[in-house]
Amino acid sequence: MDFARKQSNRKQRQLFDSVWSYSSIEHDGLGRYRDPLNPYGDFQTMIKITCILKPGGLLFLSVPLNTQDFIQFNLHRIYGPIRLPLLYRHFHVVEVLGSG
């Protein structure tokens, strides 16, 4: 019985009030850090974040932006008018802060 109880406890996920991601998601799935190549790695990470945020929780996200979308080899993605809305499609944008 104790073993079964421990197993079920491991399946419970921890939920967070907020998640902070600074200059990280744009690298997911590009293989630069020995992660598997996955063209949707950034989108999958965002979906994972929805699974660990409490209802009403906040995501503080920083990604590189430009007027066009592109991938700089395996370094990172630059988000523009096509890919950026897809990145945050599961979230309600509260505020956008720029660097300039």
- pTM for the model: 0.83
93 lies in some domain = no
H-run or E-run covering 59: strand 53-62
User: Hey, what's the torsion of the CAs at 25, 27, 30, 35, to 10 degrees?
Assistant: -80
pLDDT at 98: 80
Tell me how many domains the chain contains: 1
2 lies in some domain = no
| Confidence band of 1 (pLDDT split at 50, 70, 90) | very low
In terms of residue numbers, what domain contains 29? 15-87
Q: Is the pLDDT of residue 8 over 60?
A: no
CA distance 4 to 90: 35
98 lies in some domain = no
pLDDT at 10: 57
* pLDDT per position as a tens digit, 18-74: 999 999 999 999 999 999 999 999 999 999 999 999 999 999 999 999 999 999 989
81 lies in some domain = yes
35 lies in some domain = yes
- Phi, then psi, of 83 in degrees rounded to 5: -80, -30
